[in-house]
Structure 1
């Protein structure tokens, strides 16, 4: 009797309460369809709202104090710069086939100011695809084997030692210059740099060393700067690759400067260094003229979407606009400026802003429609160039060593005659002087402002805390849909097998079938793994295709496609077991494949957002809708409803757009016109990605392409 009573009390013990977080998870999984629609719609809307949510830029580091001191650059310094421009544009300075005379002139001018001068000789390097060089510096190519004296690149370097410094920090000023094919704009950029250099040799407030690098750009601006930086940061103690001096008399004569002996002056044959680089500025002047006003363009994107500290851009923008009267430009996608649908969207946001302001006057929401269109075009350009992962100028070489750097390109309003040349020299020189003076005030490296941001104009930006919301909303449905598909696939399989028996009636055969069902997802995981392994093989194939001599881009692309298809068929026949093929025909097996595919896409997008957010954002726009909507077309045909028909059309459209070559040609057509598209263009674009070691290349080959193949296999699954 007592035992019966104790048993009844134990049966009446209340069940443990489910935690709220578990209840929330169960609710989201059970309503994954509605959650997906809401999150994806909100994610796309949040992306279009970014220009509206952009904030005005501001100086975070108070020590910078831009414009607090009056400029010291005078007309005398402008005259010195003009003198250098005149000597460089003299035909006699270009008489040598190697451009030695121009280098001598520049070095002589630096020595006359009392600077320490040296020449840096380098060999051009060929950027080639190598599978182990990703996420390393993009200048890790091999040196040309058949070099000659004319293949040398020669950088001219001048260093001013700061009178109030300890030699531990330096500011770098770079002016690309091709002595063989130099235009007047390059000579004028050297004149601006020399006028500033002349001033800085006289000032007493300088606390950081100044390095003026005249980069020999005959093999590319980036290559010259990267070669000098590589030697500066990681010095080499052997010169086995250099030819004998007797073989190159012109190069050897570089050290025979008039009036300066090697032992008795500040000219040195050895590589000279200063302190740790605090910042770097690359200065260029365009030969073409602007139609309306003097402008200065800022290029900031570096490899894999890296950006300099926003304070550096803010200082340049403030000094250029408020001190020198220059209009500041950042890159835009010009095709969007004439977009009618974008203008209509901006007008909608402008109308909503007026309604919101009428309800609550203190709520400052919305911008004019024209400003919204320009902000969206600038934001799209910022996303695009960050997603490419290819530097937009030689400043990218500095970001590989975590040095904040930007490229400034001055475009004059009028032709560069004597009067307007002096004006550009004066205003450009004072701008560089002001930036150097602000950086000189820093007691530590740039760290106060943002490193992760998107620009909507030179004076407006979107911070990481805002633009991550759109990405988070886009990928939020992925884990919920994956869990929902897994639960639905298992439950439907259980119903189809008639597993409705009570626990007391479960036999050994039932337990065995349950165990097999619980591990069914491994077959789907195996299929997904095989496809991702194939994606890795496809990513490595260009390394071998590029070894084929005299192969055109179109031929290389076709070979790549054929080898990719052959490797996929081979992997499927070797690694896919007959058991997996038999199970693939079971009901709801496609749901398990889709569940594992969505999980892998979620992981891939999450990892890519850490490496390059812009690539992950664009990838999410292409891949998330395709993954969520993927369903066998045969089921939609059977259903015959309007909803299933719309889903089938969306699947076919997304299947075409998300294919990497198709997405490339669509984007190229929107920017340059569809008449200029060529099959070989995709190969050349991909070639540029791997030459610069862009992580976007790995993302396309190992995340986007496998996801597309798996979704296509789901669409054509035979249920």
Structure 2
């Protein structure tokens, strides 16, 4: 039916067949790119999902650019909301087929979401950008008639220009509980990628000022009722009023409710970017560097969806038409906007030039502390200078250097062994996941036990402890901490290139843990209040810094501690590697080895 309507409008149409992609853990999954995935071996011809793709050629364009409209629907059981989404897209498609101002092609993707909305969009994009179309290599077991049909589809796969932007349109039955209809914008893609900020600004401006929608972005609802956040907001509001009374130009006051809501939105934006998992089917476009968002329209009353279909179609159609006009007039070569930002509301953001300062201030002390610790270790061991040179035979008077002055290499060796162990821990789930009929709790327990055994084996096999020839034992932990801090600094800086939000949260946890780490035996010897507080802080940082603890604390803060299970961490880690999230690499190869090395520092000769 969709095909017939598109052809009646004079558009080009083709069908795209695909199979569900099962993302299983693979050692090199993170480095394989957006087309990673495995196709199931046992399937039938009815397992195929069928996307319908319609294309309008721009009368004023040269076919080099295109705008994509996506409407997911379940072909097996379409809902009223999905039918309304399809109706909105068809109305827009019929309008754009008649206009003369188009300079970019229009592509309408009616995605079959029987295997998931993201799968439908990602499969089409993968075949759009490669030479393989529609998983045809898996159609050999189908009937001959179906095979010939798929060959026809293969030959008729349509392409438009390079995608300039994409909009995913969804209508839901959920009530907004507000006086206005609501539009929720989902923008986060894989590994913290965000679309061009102007795309969000255009949608927000046209929705609020043009169609009267209440525009929302995701927020952490549990933060809205936190007492200390409200108290902080009241303090800032009071200081703002006081400053405004002294000088009217110092008007930085903000109401408490607005401060709390913006903080909850900022925390949600930071968390979603750090998690690295797309918040909607638009995330598949960002893997190909295409700006895309998901627009979810919710009526003010769930029952009004049946009575206000024409009104919703009219308002959403006008909104999307305005966005298409804006993108159609955009010349990207002369365009500049933000791609690295954190949202605090649909119309406000924190740019990278602001929040990178906080990250820089967090990690800046690390190389300085590493150099200072190394210098202190050298000065505190005067015997090393005496042993720096050994006597040669009597026939020569020139001293010969020995390896005693290179004692920091033993600390570097110990750090290297721990990081090698972290690489093994990263790969262990690939083998643990092969165990049949095992629960997430069992898999997580096996993962932890194997990790501990591997660490003990590598430590005993490598002999990474300091040699007995070094006289000053008090410098061992100083050198170990120095190299640990340096390795942590390098890991956080590398992670900031891949996912800045993950590096930001990681720095909040790792920097205090690294800087305060001191052997507990030293604090026990001093027996002062300062030493007691420092020792208690070290124990707390180690406990809170454990990745499993971090997960359960965040999960409890976001969802509550009622239905929490030990195996939830395995499910979470499994979702990270299934979505190719760099957060999994950071957790295993940056955060975990730093945590282990800090424990070794605390327990040094305890």
Which TM-score applies when normalising by structure 1?
A: 0.80
Match of 1:586 in 2: 473
Deviation for aligned residue 1:185: 1.1
Find 1:208's aligned residue among 104, 119, 124.
104
Whether contact under 8 Å (2:390, 2:401) holds in the other structure is no
Deviation for aligned residue 1:125: 1.3
1:272 aligns with 2:168: no
Deviation for aligned residue 1:481: 1.1
Find 2:10's aligned residue among 91, 102, 114.
114
Deviation for aligned residue 1:580: 4.1
Q: Deviations over 1:426-466 (max 9, x none)?
A: 10111111101110111236841100000000010011100
Deviation for aligned residue 1:512: 7.6
Find 1:470's aligned residue among 358, 370, 380.
358
SS of match in other structure, 2:176:
coil
Deviation for aligned residue 1:123: 1.4
Match of 1:408 in 2: 295
Counterparts of 1:226-241 in structure 2, within 5 Å, are: 226-236=122-132, 239-241=136-138
1:387 aligns with 2:247: no
Counterparts of 1:104-183 in structure 2, within 5 Å, are: 105-183=1-79
* C-alpha separation in 2, matches of 1:233 and 1:446: 25
Counterparts of 1:65-84 in structure 2, within 5 Å, are: none
SS of match in other structure, 2:505:
helix
Structure 1 pair 535–585 and aligned structure 2 pair: CA distance change class (3 A): farther
Structure 1 pair 197–682 and aligned structure 2 pair: CA distance change class (3 A): same
Match of 2:593 in 1: 706
Counterparts of 1:523-538 in structure 2, within 5 Å, are: 523-538=410-425
Counterparts of 1:158-557 in structure 2, within 5 Å, are: 158-236=54-132, 239-243=136-140, 246=143, 270-292=156-178, 293-414=180-301, 415-444=303-332, 447-494=335-382, 497=383, 508=391, 516-557=403-444
Whether contact under 8 Å (2:191, 2:581) holds in the other structure is yes
Deviation for aligned residue 1:240: 2.9
Whether contact under 8 Å (2:44, 2:142) holds in the other structure is no
* C-alpha separation in 2, matches of 1:319 and 1:668: 35
* C-alpha separation in 1, matches of 2:443 and 2:535: 34
* C-alpha separation in 2, matches of 1:572 and 1:428: 62
Match of 1:659 in 2: 546
Deviation for aligned residue 1:333: 0.6
Structure 1 pair 446–145 and aligned structure 2 pair: CA distance change class (3 A): farther
- Give the unaligned 5+ runs of structure 2: none
Find 1:650's aligned residue among 509, 528, 537.
537
Match of 1:565 in 2: 452
Which TM-score applies when normalising by structure 2?
A: 0.94
Whether contact under 8 Å (1:245, 1:252) holds in the other structure is no
Deviates more, 1:522-531 or 1:446-455: 446-455
Q: Deviations over 1:525-574 (max 9, x none)?
A: 00000000000000000111112222211111011011101111111111
Match of 1:46 in 2: none
* C-alpha separation in 1, matches of 2:384 and 2:160: 79
Match of 2:525 in 1: 638
Deviates more, 1:231-240 or 1:431-440: 231-240
Q: Which structure has the bigger radius of gyration?
A: 1
Whether contact under 8 Å (1:127, 1:138) holds in the other structure is no
Deviation for aligned residue 1:110: 1.3
Deviates more, 1:129-138 or 1:526-535: 129-138
* C-alpha separation in 1, matches of 2:42 and 2:398: 72
What do you get for the CA RMSD once the two structures are aligned?
Answer: 2.4
Deviation for aligned residue 1:675: 2.1
Deviation for aligned residue 1:133: 2.5
* C-alpha separation in 1, matches of 2:237 and 2:587: 37
Deviation for aligned residue 1:418: 4.9
Whether contact under 8 Å (1:138, 1:692) holds in the other structure is no
* C-alpha separation in 1, matches of 2:437 and 2:6: 45
Whether contact under 8 Å (2:299, 2:305) holds in the other structure is no
SS of match in other structure, 2:111:
strand
Q: Deviations over 1:267-326 (max 9, x none)?
A: 996111111111000011112222212001000011110000000000000000000000
* C-alpha separation in 2, matches of 1:513 and 1:644: 43
Structure 1 pair 331–582 and aligned structure 2 pair: CA distance change class (3 A): farther
Q: Deviations over 1:238-290 (max 9, x none)?
A: 933223552675x97899xxxxxx9xxxx996111111111000011112222
SS of match in other structure, 2:308:
helix
* C-alpha separation in 2, matches of 1:507 and 1:521: 19
Structure 1 pair 674–164 and aligned structure 2 pair: CA distance change class (3 A): same
* C-alpha separation in 2, matches of 1:607 and 1:534: 19
* C-alpha separation in 1, matches of 2:234 and 2:2: 55
SS of match in other structure, 1:142:
coil
Deviation for aligned residue 1:419: 3.8
* C-alpha separation in 2, matches of 1:593 and 1:203: 69
Deviates more, 1:132-141 or 1:373-382: 132-141
* C-alpha separation in 2, matches of 1:651 and 1:645: 10
Whether contact under 8 Å (1:300, 1:405) holds in the other structure is yes
Match of 2:562 in 1: 675
- Give the unaligned 5+ runs of structure 1: 1-104, 256-261
SS of match in other structure, 1:126:
coil
Aligned length, in residue pairs: 599
* C-alpha separation in 2, matches of 1:246 and 1:149: 9
* C-alpha separation in 1, matches of 2:398 and 2:374: 20
* C-alpha separation in 1, matches of 2:468 and 2:129: 55
Q: Deviations over 1:573-601 (max 9, x none)?
A: 11125654775981221010000000000
Structure 1 pair 511–420 and aligned structure 2 pair: CA distance change class (3 A): farther
1:603 aligns with 2:490: yes
